[in-house]
Chain A
Amino acid sequence: MRKVYLDHIAATPLHPLARESMLPFLKENFGNPQSLHSFGQPVLEAVEEARVRVARLINASAEEIFFTASGSEANNFAVKGMALAQRDKGKHLVVSAIEHQSVLNSVKSLERQGFQATLVPVSREALVDPQDVAKAITPQTVLVSVMLANSEVGSLQPAAEIARLCRARQVPFHTDAVAAVGNIPVDVKALGVDALSLAGDQFYGPKGSAALYVRKGVRLLPFIDGGIQEGGRRGGTENVAGIVGLGTAAEAAANELDRRAEKAQALRDRLIEELPRRVERVILTGHPTRRLPYHASFCIEFIEGEAMLLSLDMKGIAASSGSACTSRALKVSHVLLAMGLDHALAQGSLIFSLLDSTEAEDLDYVLEVFPPIVRRLREMSPLYTKYLEESRK
């Protein structure tokens, strides 16, 4: 059976160059980078070289990069570290309603410590209006966090504009760029952000290896108290192989990004165009053009996401969904609800996210097997029956 992987947002395969670069650090180069001897020093050099490569990808300086174990950790680090560093200034936070759980739950955690937060709404296309951010900022606001790209609906936020208005008000601005970095050009200076999260597993780097960029001069509390690693702000022996792999993936992304994005976007556009032609009552979620190049997301009316995923999986196709039944908490995606979709429609969420290796034939296959899946599930659906009865009237 044909295997088609369209779940980029869950994980990307490791780039061959990244894998090659990691191997020596899983074999002979096992030394601790903090050791002064000959086993440690070459390892330290490799870690610092990776830092330079990651910095280069986003136009930062190496000393502004802090390695972490995940995008979630980078978000926790930024939100808690920046807010708590300024708690004497104020205790108000501004975040968008569609942030990743690692940002929203960090905010909840801060709320338990006396902070207050304003959730900025989004449009039907999942876009934040910078003016809403401006309105939410108070003299007590110590952090604004709005993501660069949303992994569920692909929408790209006007981060540069938000950064500009935050800077004018002297409020630090963090952006969760996990879904974006390595896939679209990201330049921290052009964006004007104070902090930015990125993760290797979203651009063909290893899992468990991510980073937080923090602009020089921005106040940030340590996240793991320990030794001198990561400038004393994130203690613990470095995940050397992971960091090296992240560095190599960053360098590869810098070289291949434009080509990758162009290829993915052409395929994605075809999927966005063709799927609603082959299946009736399908809506595109997120913005039609201001979206991640590898990302096509839909809501299929009258049926539920998990049932679609299981059916696709039986045909060798891997995708994802924001339906309640696919989440362990049985909650429908907060992103789709924030966009104003009703529960029934949000339950029909389906996300196809392309890899660099995705080819036109893969999508042809999806377009061929998906309509019968929808037909089968709709035949079972009381909502579809009701729709047919009503449209007959």
Chain B
Amino acid sequence: MMYTEKVMDHFQNPRNVGVIKDADGVGQVGNPVCGDMMTFYIKVKDGRLADIKFQTFGCGAAIAVSSIVSEMAMNRTLEEALKITNEKVAEELGGLPKNKLHCSNLGADALHKAIENYTTRQGGRPGKSKCEAAAAAAESCCCPYCDGPLEGGEGICQTCNVELEECPECHKATSAQEETCAHCGSKLH
């Protein structure tokens, strides 16, 4: 089996699946082009994550990663939850196959996005994702599908492997295989 017992356990019995209708924060990452899509919902009470729910479209690893991230972050302070790294997620699962490591990136990112969304709603920092904020500073950009950082001039996202091209309208990176731009919706090709 390519997955560890722990991955299979979380895939078979994922913890905290679902939707929180009145969530305090929602974070979504990924796109079917990458293969995976995750949505995290959080409830915050006294600076702690009182409830976490997620929904995932994706492979076994993506489902297991979402599940374990929700478990790792439950009842933690926001600061503690923001410190959950991709490495820690993979480690907690007893390792992931090399080509599935990008799934572990998505899990923590989705949770962090939900926390950022909460902070924004509270009137805190502007609601930019980690990558978007870093990219704005460095004048590079992010993959529109998995939010991974894009190296200048690369035709492919190193995080989710999607082939990218520049949209002639808005000049942002979008999938070379789609008919419309992921940012501005204008027709490509």
State which of A59-67, A171-179, A306-314 sits at the interface with chain B: A306-314
A331 → B minimal CB distance (Å): 7
B60 at the interface (CB under 8 A from A): yes
Alpha-carbon separation in the docked complex, A217 to B3 (Å): 52
Asked if A307 and B161 make an inter-chain contact with CB atoms under 8 angstroms apart, the answer reads no
Asked if A382 and B177 make an inter-chain contact with CB atoms under 8 angstroms apart, the answer reads no
Known: A331-B161, A382-B28. A303 touches B57 (CB 8 A): yes
Give which listed residue, B3, B17, B177, contacts A380 with CB less than 8 A: B17
| Chain A residues whose CB sits within 8 angstroms of the CB of B37 once the complex forms | 382-383
Asked if A307 and B55 make an inter-chain contact with CB atoms under 8 angstroms apart, the answer reads no
| Chain A residues whose CB sits within 8 angstroms of the CB of B38 once the complex forms | 382
B13 → A minimal CB distance (Å): 10
Considering the complex, which residues of chain B in the window 28-53 have a beta carbon less than 8 Å from any beta carbon of chain A?
28, 31-39
| Chain B residues whose CB sits within 8 angstroms of the CB of A72 once the complex forms | none
Counting chain A residues whose Cβ lies within 8 A of the other chain, the interface size class is 20 to 34
Give which listed residue, B17, B31, B59, B99, contacts A304 with CB less than 8 A: B59
State which of A129-137, A184-192, A320-328 sits at the interface with chain B: A320-328
Asked if A325 and B55 make an inter-chain contact with CB atoms under 8 angstroms apart, the answer reads no
Asked if B35 and A330 make an inter-chain contact with CB atoms under 8 angstroms apart, the answer reads yes
A379 at the interface (CB under 8 A from B): yes
Q: Which of A305, A325, A326, A331 has the most CB of B within 10 A?
A: A325
Considering the complex, which residues of chain A in the window 306-350 have a beta carbon less than 8 Å from any beta carbon of chain B?
306-307, 310, 314, 323-326, 328-332, 337, 342-344, 347
B11 at the interface (CB under 8 A from A): yes
B120 at the interface (CB under 8 A from A): no
| Chain A residues whose CB sits within 8 angstroms of the CB of B33 once the complex forms | 343
**Least CB separation from B11: chain A residue:** A310
**Least CB separation from A327: chain B residue:** B99
**Least CB separation from B160: chain A residue:** A330
B149 at the interface (CB under 8 A from A): no
A204 at the interface (CB under 8 A from B): no
| Chain A residues whose CB sits within 8 angstroms of the CB of B17 once the complex forms | 379-380
| Chain B residues whose CB sits within 8 angstroms of the CB of A332 once the complex forms | 35
B95 at the interface (CB under 8 A from A): no
B62 → A minimal CB distance (Å): 8
- Would you list 22 pairs from A and B whose C-beta atoms are within 8 A, ordered by A residue? A303-B57, A304-B36, A304-B57, A304-B59, A304-B62, A307-B59, A314-B12, A323-B59, A325-B60, A325-B61, A328-B99, A329-B99, A330-B160, A330-B161, A332-B35, A342-B32, A347-B35, A347-B57, A381-B56, A382-B38, A385-B19, A385-B55
